[in-house]
Amino acid sequence: MPRPRFSTLAAACATALATALIGPATGAHAATTVAQYSGTLADGATWIAEAPAQWNGTLLLFSHGFGPTTAADAPSPAVRQALLDAGYALAGSSYDPNGSMWALDSAERDQFAALTAFRGQVGAPTRVISVGQSMGGLVNARIARDGVGRVDGALGLCGLVAGGVDLDNYQLDAEYTLATFFDPADADALVNLDDQADGAALAARLTTAVEAAQQTPAGRARIALAAAYLNLADWAPGQQPPADDDFAGQEQQQYAWLAQGLLQFIVPARWSVEQSAGGNTSWNKGVDYAGLLRESAHAKQVESLYRDAGLDLRTDLNQLTRGADITADPTAVAQLRRTSTAGQGLAVPLLDIHTTADQLVPVEQESAFAGRVRRAGDSALLRQAYVARQSHCNFTTAEVVAGLHAVEHRLDTGHWGDSTTAAELQRGADELGLDGAAFTDYRPSRLTGAR
């Protein structure tokens, strides 16, 4: 597997917010004259669009990720410029700015409204391809399910395609494990957060507890157990990937993710999900934590570290199972399932691209999503591709454009052919002469913690 350059965790977490924080750059590229448009939708959401003078007729409808509800029309400034230079028009909405940053209740509706506004102000595109990143990848997957007659195809980037309920549940499993062994005073304070500040304070306490636990073999074994429930990648920034049997090295890199800011991102974000859904959306009452571990790709690592530490793994797993008494608000769960799930089917072709070591949206989410699409009978419309790199949404411009070209190939020919193989995507990215690529043959493990 190729090992390209990496980024720091701080940069990775910033990337998770980038599509919400960074709107399109103003002005025009030296070789590209761009007309810019904007407006306000019925619910108060804003929309923006850009069309180059030599528009090729294709509109890319971009769904941004979790963060402030600010309109964006491209994954990054560099991708934006490359797409405009290539003749694509771009559009996207902010989603409803009046509620939670987990704006799934309005996002799909606002994206379709932005498309209607584009048609009214700019003109009718000959083709519409939906593009979504991170949380916007979930929005994108829903659009690919519901958008027949409005969009023609879709490209997902590091998408949260397993949906909100699964996300909250496997994160709860990890946080519950950390609190049980390292911060028991917070074991009953993991859900129903008062506000974002409450979540940030909880995250700080859990992080401090993890830092102390890392100093002992027993602590490291239990950190590995929590990391297994979190589906946490074992390849961290600034390091080489550990060998398959280097279980201690794997834990060290999982710890690096946790210690360098991961909990400070995901724990406060829970409040935004609860705010959107109207209550607690995760539960562990009745969960068999031994069974969960058996499903994890990291089970052998955990077992080895427990043996080395002289700990009884079965005792810890039984303790977790006996103490699991968190229940969800059924109305909130129903709301989150309604607004924040995907994979029940596809109406248009969708290519998902994911980094293999994504600490915020684990690559295993792609397995859960593919399973749902398969059960819906729409596997022929879905393809998934992988980039050998650490960090969330850490794609090069060439990788994004190559993925877009693969979707266009499917729309032009009516079949995927070899267009989404790692070799063909790599070839296409290299031919662009941009910033390189690291597509790789990869098959993600099963998502641990899905109820």
Question: Within the chain, which residue ranges are assigned CATH 3.40.50.1820?
Answer: 9-162+341-440
Mean pLDDT of 257-265: 96
pLDDT at residue 235 in the model: 97
- The residues pairing with 131 across neighbouring beta strands, listed in sequence order, are 62, 155
The rounded distance, in Å, linking the Cα atoms of 63 and 74 is: 8
Residue 304 has pLDDT above 70, yes or no: yes
pLDDT in tens, 408-431: 999 999 999 999 999 999 999 999
- Tell me how many degrees the CA angle 274-134-74 measures, rounded to the nearest 5: 125
User: H or E segment at 330?
Assistant: helix 330-339
Helical packing angle, 77-85 and 397-413, nearest 10°: 40
* CB-based contact 222:176 (threshold 8 Å): no
Average pLDDT over residues 90-101: 96
pLDDT of residue 28: 41
Crossing angle between the packed helical segments 313-323 and 217-229, to the nearest 10 degrees: 50
The pLDDT, as a whole number, for residue 51 is: 98
Which overall architecture, per CATH, does domain 9-162+341-440 show? Answer: 3-Layer(aba) Sandwich (3.40)
- 264 and 211 Cβ atoms separated by less than 8 Å: no
pTM to 2 decimal places: 0.93
385, burial (CB in 10 Å: exposed 0-12, middle 13-18, buried 19+): buried
Strands 127-133 and 350-357: unpaired
| C-alpha torsion 46→50→56→59, nearest 10 | -20
Q: Round to whole Å and give the CA distance between 216 and 7.
A: 28
Q: Residue 15: is its pLDDT beyond 70?
A: no
